Structure formats: structure tokens, C-alpha cells
Structure 1
Amino acid sequence: MGFIPSMLDRAKEAWAKPSLNPLMPRRVDNLYKTHGDGTDFLGRTPLPNSVIVDATQNRSKSHSSATPSNKEALKLDLIGRQHYSLVSFSLRTLNYMCAMEAYTRHVLLNFQTFLNLLPDDHKAMAMTSYNEVLSIIDYQMITSLHLTDAAAKQLMTAIHLCRHTWLRTSNITDDARNRIEDSPFDSEGLFATSMEESLDNIQKMRKAAKSYTYQGTSSQSSSRQPNQNWRRPYTPAYQRPPNGYRPQPYNSPYQRQQQQPKNRQQQSTRRFDRKQKQLS
């Protein structure tokens, strides 16, 4: 099946500047709203859990931020959240498509009673068109289900990218990082609540280890006292300077230049004074 040219041209409009904000306009996004239990994750991006934020940011602040502190991680997190918003929009539009297809099928089934009232020469043609429309609606429903499966996998890809962005700079082991990234998504937050207790224990162990290390270093530093009976280390005789030796200060060329007289008159007066001392 060939691609529709108008749809292909519309798809290529975003190729000019891939770095632009890929979010859908608000007026378009508001056309496909959903409500009900378990659909809150489609209207907002999941927030990271507080334990994960405390474990990965390593900040000395009283509050934690909802975005990573690293610039590269911040950019990856932004891309992941934008991808999540687009996929959630696709899921909401697919929900509307399935609802309209189901309603169209319901209308056609009710229209079948009027087809039986047609004459026999027109009834056969009408039933053929009727069955064709029903088959098209069935194919549309199957296509919508396939698109829903693809959108759900894309949503998990966005979740995996956001999780990897938060955990890439953490001090958690590789095994724990892989288990956290592969944990199921429960739509309450970016990370599963089932991992909250284990992550909390890891964070407490890290804080305890840091506090014990700090206490150990402080106790060692406080126990060190200056030695009152300190003596210079013994030096062998062949390395000692002779008795009465005093190192002479080194006069650099700059210092010798400064000691020289500045003009001829000062030089002549110094020579005269030197001769007077010799004669006396």
C-alpha cells in the first residue's frame, strides 16, 4: 500500500529542525482528554521518587529537585519527558479512534433493519456495501490495537530512558541499577513503589557508612597531639656541614646590579674614601 502524499508531507514538516520543542500544541492536546481511574499517568509525566533523587543527586540541600543536576543528564531527562508526553498523546487519540469506530459499528448495526425494507433489486447492492463498511471498521479496530501496543512499548522506552538518566550518575551497583531500571511501572511515579523500601535501606546504609567514616577520621585527628620532646632526625657525619660553616646569601645578578653605584660621581666618591682609609 502506498503512503498518502498529504500525510507524508505533513510528517516531513518536523525534519527541518529536530531540536525544536516536539510537544503538541495545547489547543490540540485539550481535544483528547481522558478521565477515569488509572488514567492519570496519561495527563502528566511521572515524577521521580524522593529516595531515588536523594540517592543520585548527592546534594547538600534541604530539598531535592525534580530534575538531575548534571547538564547531560538534564538534557536526556528532558528528551525522555518530551517523548513520554507525545506517546501519552498518541494513546489518548487512539482511545478516541477506538470509541468512534465502536460507535460507527453500533450505528451500522441499527441501520440493518432499514436494509431489510428495501426491494430485492436494491437490497443486494446495499448489503454488499454494508458488509464492506463493517469489514473496514473491523480492520480499523485491529489497526488501533496494533498502534496501542506500539505506543505502550514507546511509553516504556521513555520510562526506561528517564530511569537510566537518573541512575547513570549514582553510586548504586550495576546489579541494583539493572533491577531498578527493569522494575514494573505502576503509574504512581517514575520508579516502582515496591522498590522504595529496598532503596530506602540502601540510602540509610550509605549515610551510616559516611557518618562512621567521618567519626573515625575526626577521632584520629583529635587523638593526635604535638610531641613536646621532638628532636631533629639524626644526620650522618658525612652529610653534616663543617663547624662554623654559615651559608652565604646568594646574590643574584639583579641584586649585584642594585648594589652598584648609579652614576660616575658616586663611584668616584667611593674610590676617594677608600684611598683616604688606606693612607690613614
Structure 2
Amino acid sequence: MEAESQASHRSTLSKSRHSETELTDTQPTTPLEDFKSYSQLVHKIAQVMGLQVQLPTTSDSCKFFGHLNKSKPPQLKMAFIPSMLDREKEAWAKPSSNPLIPRRSDNLYKTHGDSMDFLTKHPLPNSVIVDANQNRGRSHSNTTPSNKEARKLDLIGRRHYSLASFSLRALNYLCAMEAYTRHILTFPAFMDLLPEVHRLKAQASYSEVLSLIDHQMITYLHLTDAASKQLTTAIHLRRHAWLRTANITEDARNRIEDSPFDGEGLFATSTDASLDNIQKIRKAAKSYTYQGGTSQPASRPTPQTWRRPYTPVHQRTQSRYRPQYHQSPYHRTAQPQRQRQQQQSVR
């Protein structure tokens, strides 16, 4: 009886220890709050893969503010992977003529949905600014500005938009893959049959894998934020290309460029209404301006000294009141002295 009671007591202790280890070891740390675990994980990955890591030089040994530094992001710097760096430098040869994403790679990350067309197609210009920017000789509408410099800016914006949409679609697939990886990594039931030492090691490895998946998901969220900002930057650049030749004020141009993007068109739906209000304000301002009525007294002319208008010499006429002096028929024109001497010698 005593042996059975001791065995039951040992089994209950092992179960309690197993439950405690599950609560402590299997629960991964939250990457959003614990930056220390993130730096430790990156340092461990770099050591295993043979990458150099630059550790932070500052220490958190301050008695007053040391506990606040634990909540800051780590200053860890990991070396760039050489193969990725070589692939990145392939696009440095011709920055202005780099081709877009290959069609084969683009087909791997397709998406569908009623409101997901902005990830597969460029938003079309949808404002009166487009009609005002077109050439008068063209009978059909064009999707690019008529100005040469604006057309170049619009092309650069389209390239940025294509790259941003591809990044967002690829990140969507990566997040789904990581979620599926976490789903299939369930704690196997046969782990309970292992000895306690091996079971604890397996639980530690399992917890580390879950923590790695969580950190990868956080990294994907950071990349999603960056790709979204790149997409909105492309929209801003294309709007600027269309508005750079518009006859509106700088304040109105900035407000239209910074209007929200709804995913349906290049410009927001409120753009035409804003332009209509601007036109009404201009007409009202012109109607209230002074048009030369009697309500405002005329300004006095500045005093100036009166001068006789200039008349060219060949247009001047001799006054009839001034006596005219005729030359005498005996008047001899002046001749050079040498010519007179020659005439006298001949005589």
C-alpha cells in the first residue's frame, strides 16, 4: 500500500511539474513587448548561420533609468547575407531602365476580392483635372498627362505602385504560411512518454520555434507598413504629375494631393467638389473687386513737368512767321585749299 501511495504521489508530482512547465515554457514571449528576447533570438541565429553581429556598446547599469531602457528596441546589428546583397546590386547598373517584376513571379501571388482590384491594376485618373490636362486635338481620352515632364513623373509613380502592390500580395502569402506553420506545430502527444530531461528539451525547442514564428509575423507587419507607405507615395507622385500644370493655388494643390485614397481611382471622390468650390470662390472674388464705378474716388495724377513732344529732324517744318534767309547767287561754297591752288595754277 505504501508503495502504491508513493507511486501515485510521484505521478501527481510529475503531472503538476508537467503542467507548470507547459505554462512557463510553451508560452512564447510577446515580440511587441519583449525586445530582449528578440535580440537574443537574432544573436543565436547569427551564431548558428555564421553571420557577424555587432552588439550594443551602451550598458543598462543605471540605477535610476535602467528599467526604462529594457522597453526600447535593441541596437543589435546583423551583417547582410552576401547572396541577398549580390541580388540587390544587380539592379544598380541601370536604375532608370530596370524591368518590372517578372510575370512568372507575379503569378505566384494573385489575390481576389471585390475591393482588391487596386493590388492588380493601376488606379485610373477620375477627375476634371484629367479632362483639363488633355490636348485639345485628341478626340479620345488619355491615361497619361500631356506634359512631357509630368508624363515621366507619372511613369515613375506607376513603377513604384507596381512594386508596392507586389510586395503587399507576397506578404499576404507569407503571413498565411507562417500561420499555417504555427497551426501544424502542435505539441505532440508522445512527448509525455519521454523522460523528463528529454521532454524539457523538446518543450524548450518547441517554445523557441513558436517565438521565432511570432517574431517573423511582426517583421511581416513592419514590411506591410513599409509597402503601404510606398504605395501611397506612388499615388502622391502621380497626383502631383497631374496637378503640376493645373491653374490652382498651392494650398489647394497640397490638399488634393493629400486627400485619402479609396482604392477605386487616382483622385478622391471629393476632388471635383473641392475644385468647384475653388472656382466659385474665384468668381465671387472677381465680382466684388472694383470695376471703376463712382463708389471709389479716382486717384489724383502725380504732377509732372510738361515737355514738348520730340519731333524728328526730317519731319520738322519751318515756321511761316520766321524769315527765310536765301543764299546769295554770288555766294561761293567753301573749297579745299589744295583744290583752289590747282585751279589758279591752271589759269
TM-score normalised by structure 2 residue count = 0.56
Question: Does structure 1 residue 161 correspond to structure 2 residue 237?
Answer: yes
What is the CA distance between 1:40 and its match in structure 2? 1.2
Question: Does structure 1 residue 191 correspond to structure 2 residue 267?
Answer: yes
What is the CA distance between 1:117 and its match in structure 2? 3.9
Which residues of structure 1 form unaligned runs of 5+? 207-234, 243-280
Name the counterpart of 1:225: none
- Structure 2 residue identity aligned to 1:23: L
What CA distance in whole angstroms lies between the structure 1 residues aligned with 2:98 and 2:318? Answer: 77
- Structure 2 residue identity aligned to 1:74: R
Name the counterpart of 1:170: 246
What is the CA distance between 1:202 and its match in structure 2? 5.7
What is the CA distance between 1:240 and its match in structure 2? 4.9
- Structure 2 residue identity aligned to 1:78: L
Higher radius of gyration, 1 or 2: 2
Between 1 and 2, higher relative CO (CA 8 Å, sep ≥ 6) is seen in 1
Q: RMSD over aligned Cα, in angstroms?
A: 2.6
Instruction: Specify which of 8, 18, 25 is matched with residue 85 of structure 2.
Output: 8
CA, structure 1 residues 18+123, in 2 after alignment: closer, same or farther (shift >3 Å)?
same
| Deviation sequence 1:10-68 (CA, Å, 0-9, x none) | 11111111122331001110100011232110001111114120133363544321101
Instruction: Specify which of 146, 170, 177 is matched with residue 69 of structure 1.
Output: 146
What CA distance in whole angstroms lies between the structure 2 residues aligned with 1:5 and 1:137? Answer: 24
What CA distance in whole angstroms lies between the structure 2 residues aligned with 1:116 and 1:145? Answer: 36
What is the CA distance between 1:152 and its match in structure 2? 0.8
Is the contact between residue 235 and residue 266 of structure 2 (CA under 8 Å) also seen in structure 1?
yes
Give the share of equivalent positions with the same residue, in percent: 75
| Deviation sequence 1:116-161 (CA, Å, 0-9, x none) | 3433332122111111110100000000000111111111111110
Is the contact between residue 84 and residue 159 of structure 1 (CA under 8 Å) also seen in structure 2?
yes
Name the counterpart of 1:94: 171
Q: What is the SS of the residue equivalent to 1:19?
A: helix
Is the contact between residue 158 and residue 238 of structure 2 (CA under 8 Å) also seen in structure 1?
yes
Name the counterpart of 2:333: none
How many aligned positions are there? 213
Counterparts in 2 of 1:132-143, with a 5 A limit? 132-143=208-219
What CA distance in whole angstroms lies between the structure 2 residues aligned with 1:165 and 1:157? Answer: 12
What CA distance in whole angstroms lies between the structure 1 residues aligned with 2:124 and 2:176? Answer: 30
What CA distance in whole angstroms lies between the structure 2 residues aligned with 1:57 and 1:203? Answer: 20
CA, structure 1 residues 21+204, in 2 after alignment: closer, same or farther (shift >3 Å)?
farther
CA, structure 1 residues 168+8, in 2 after alignment: closer, same or farther (shift >3 Å)?
same
Name the counterpart of 1:278: none
Name the counterpart of 1:40: 117
TM-score normalised by structure 1 residue count = 0.69
Q: What is the SS of the residue equivalent to 1:187?
A: coil
What CA distance in whole angstroms lies between the structure 2 residues aligned with 1:65 and 1:202? Answer: 25
CA, structure 1 residues 62+201, in 2 after alignment: closer, same or farther (shift >3 Å)?
farther
Q: What is the SS of the residue equivalent to 2:157?
A: helix
Counterparts in 2 of 1:220-231, with a 5 A limit? none
| Deviation sequence 1:191-216 (CA, Å, 0-9, x none) | 0012233335667999xxxxxxxxxx
Q: What is the SS of the residue equivalent to 2:96?
A: coil
Q: What is the SS of the residue equivalent to 1:54?
A: helix
Is the contact between residue 51 and residue 203 of structure 1 (CA under 8 Å) also seen in structure 2?
no
Name the counterpart of 2:298: none
| Deviation sequence 1:158-199 (CA, Å, 0-9, x none) | 111000011011112212111100100000101001223333
Name the counterpart of 1:149: 225
What CA distance in whole angstroms lies between the structure 1 residues aligned with 2:193 and 2:246? Answer: 73
Which residues of structure 2 form unaligned runs of 5+? 1-77, 283-310, 320-347
What CA distance in whole angstroms lies between the structure 2 residues aligned with 1:41 and 1:197? Answer: 23
Is the contact between residue 57 and residue 68 of structure 1 (CA under 8 Å) also seen in structure 2?
yes
Name the counterpart of 1:59: 136
- Structure 2 residue identity aligned to 1:122: H
Instruction: Specify which of 67, 80, 95 is matched with residue 18 of structure 1.
Output: 95
What CA distance in whole angstroms lies between the structure 2 residues aligned with 1:24 and 1:49? Answer: 27
CA, structure 1 residues 139+166, in 2 after alignment: closer, same or farther (shift >3 Å)?
same
What is the CA distance between 1:75 and its match in structure 2? 1.0
- Structure 2 residue identity aligned to 1:14: A
What CA distance in whole angstroms lies between the structure 2 residues aligned with 1:10 and 1:203? Answer: 52
What CA distance in whole angstroms lies between the structure 1 residues aligned with 2:80 and 2:196? Answer: 39
